[in-house]
Amino acid sequence: MKVSAFSVLGCAPALILLKLGCLARGAYVLDGRTLPDDFIFSCGTSAYQIEGATGSQAEGGKGTSIWDTFAHEKGLGHIANDETGDIAVDFYHTYPRDLPLFRQALGVNQFDFTVAWTRILPNGTGTTANPAGLNFYRDVIMTAHRNGMTAACTIYHWDLPQALQDKYGGWLNKQVVSDFRNYAEIIMDGLGDLCDDWLSMNEPRTFCQEGYGADPVSAPAIPNGTFKTEITCRHNAMLAHAEAHEVFVEKKKQGKVKGKFGIKIDGGPGVPMDPTSAADVAAVDRHHAFEFWEVSPLVNGTYNPTMRTALGSLLPSFTAEETKKVAGSYDFVAFDAYTSTWIAALNASDAAACTGEQSDFWPECVEDSETDHAGYLIGKPTESDWNFRANDTIYVGLRYMHENGIKAFTVGENGMAVIKEASLHLGERVVDADRVDWYRSTFKNINWVLDAGLPLIGASFWSCIDNLEWSSGFTIKFGLVDTKPGYNQTRTSKMSANYVKAVMTGELDSRYSYFPSEGI
């Protein structure tokens, strides 16, 4: 046990910690296995999803982000029930009581949150941080620290300043790369003494596909998006990440920031529909090359050969100088692990027709489905139509990353929404047996990953608290702590929070059923 870890967190020695509910790093025991001192269990949130004090309710000089604009375009079906994040779950005001609750209810030793670019630089650019915005985040982190949690600071989670979207098209213009670097530098100067770890951005594939691709469902929902616009966005996002990493490395040398630097990437690992078919197994490899597209740039500074061959000049290239910056631009990769997908090779006619955007299968040119040919779902359904509790999502995703050169990783996000949870009474909502079942599977996967000796350094539960689930609004609840949207709403921890805490602290063994009679 490192004394320094306790002094940072202001906690007492290890054995009394469990009793006091003051878990510090080094205290986790998972199914009889003592985890390394610096293993992290955290819960995650993002600015637009929880903070409020934005849009029509903006406080502290906050500027408008593309999500503020999108949410206020009412009547277009952008967000369920035309909800907005103007108040969200009011974390901007409630964090002094939320953070101790997250710590106590979930037993996590880190709080993952994101900084809203428009709280720091209301119009996206500038040379000094908006003091009210900076002070808000400083106090959030200090509150986390006082309550026994370190803080992982994510620089960007989808809420681009509207001003940059208006000025030059946001992520489609290379100018965003230097504006992101400038913002990253300002935020590292402002929070560098406090943030314990850093992440550049959340899920570039998803925000580019959903906001800048064909048929967009997320902000800024550009008209006439194509695969070309989506991939341009992804390329610029990777360059922006690498610039932020370069700033981090420089500032770390100067002693101005501390901890590790990562990026959050998402993707659904493939399961061959017919594991005895060489063609289906090869289709899974191809799916992974596209799905985990960030891996090769992060390791090698170039796109993987499968994508390069399939896309040719449609895929942008990194210059020699960019390749140097992008290759190795991380200390860890955070894998946002949710669901898996069945994969099969295409039949001959679909394969022949898979030559461009007119084909439903292009550019992967594999069959990708939540049901296999016999009609079996890939896993147990949840309230999100894209999210299933498959058997080995975390393990397969991390194994792919390991085999392809990623040197350390965390589970960056993992979680689910219980079916119809939003329409249940509080008493029913908090007895969330399906979420317990989900996290039991999570721990099983973590055990597999650790048994295989893969370099897993932490795992984060999504989400600390119910929040605005983007275009699904408040109809879908991912929290381990229950709440409703609005000012100063009651917080109630769910059974799943109790479950993860009991497992992480060695009180409960996840290999045994939590509800023997029901088999969960």
Q: 400 vs 462, which CB is nearer to ligand NOJ?
A: 462
Q: What one-character-per-residue DSSP string does 373-388 give? A: TT--BSSEE-SSTT-E
Instruction: Kindly tell me which of 124 and 267 has the beta carbon lying closer to ligand NOJ.
Output: 267
Residue 223 CA, chain-centre distance (Å), reads: 26
Distance in angstroms (rounded) separating the CA atoms of residues 448 and 426? 35
Q: Whole-number minimum distance, CB 261 to ligand NOJ, in Å?
A: 18
Nearer to ligand NOJ, 339 or 445 (CB): 339
Question: Using CB atoms within 10 A of its CB, is residue 127 exposed (0-12), middle (13-18) or buried (19+)?
Answer: exposed
Locate 171 and state its tokens.
């992520």
- Is residue 413 among the annotated active site residues? yes
User: Are residues 161 and 115 in contact, defined by beta-carbon separation less than 8 angstroms?
Assistant: no
Q: Which of 454, 493, 444, 457 is nearest to 25 (CA)?
A: 457
- Return the CA Rg of the chain: 22
Out of 203, 230, 367, 383, which one is annotated catalytic?
203
Distance of CA 71 to the CA centre of its chain: 21
Least CB distance from residue 413 to ligand NOJ, whole Å? 5
Q: Closest distance between ligand NOJ and the C-beta of residue 137, in Å?
A: 18
Residue 358, number of CB atoms within 10 A of its CB:
8
The two beta strands, 29-30 and 366-369, are: unpaired
Residue whose CB is less far from ligand NOJ, 152 or 354 = 152
Taking the complex as a whole, how short is the minimal distance between the CB of residue 209 and ligand NOJ, in angstroms? 13
Nearer to ligand NOJ, 367 or 469 (CB): 469
| Separation of alpha carbons 224 and 212, rounded Å | 9
Q: Which is nearer to ligand NOJ, 291 or 336 (CB)?
A: 336
User: In 3-state terms, what secondary structure has residue 436?
Assistant: helix
Q: Give the interface with ligand NOJ as residue ranges (CB under 6 A).
A: 46, 49, 202-203, 336, 413, 462, 469, 478
Shortest distance in whole angstroms from residue 256 CB to ligand NOJ? 28
Residue 185 falls in the annotated catalytic set? no
What is the rounded distance in angstroms from the CA atom of residue 94 to the CA atom of residue 89?
Answer: 8
Alpha carbons 7 and 494: distance in angstroms, whole number: 31
**Residue 468 CB, nearest distance to ligand NOJ (Å)?**
8
Cis bond leading into 369, ω under 30°?
no
Task: Please tell me the distance from the alpha carbon of residue 492 to that of residue 382, in angstroms, as a whole number.
Answer: 21
Active site residues: 203, 413
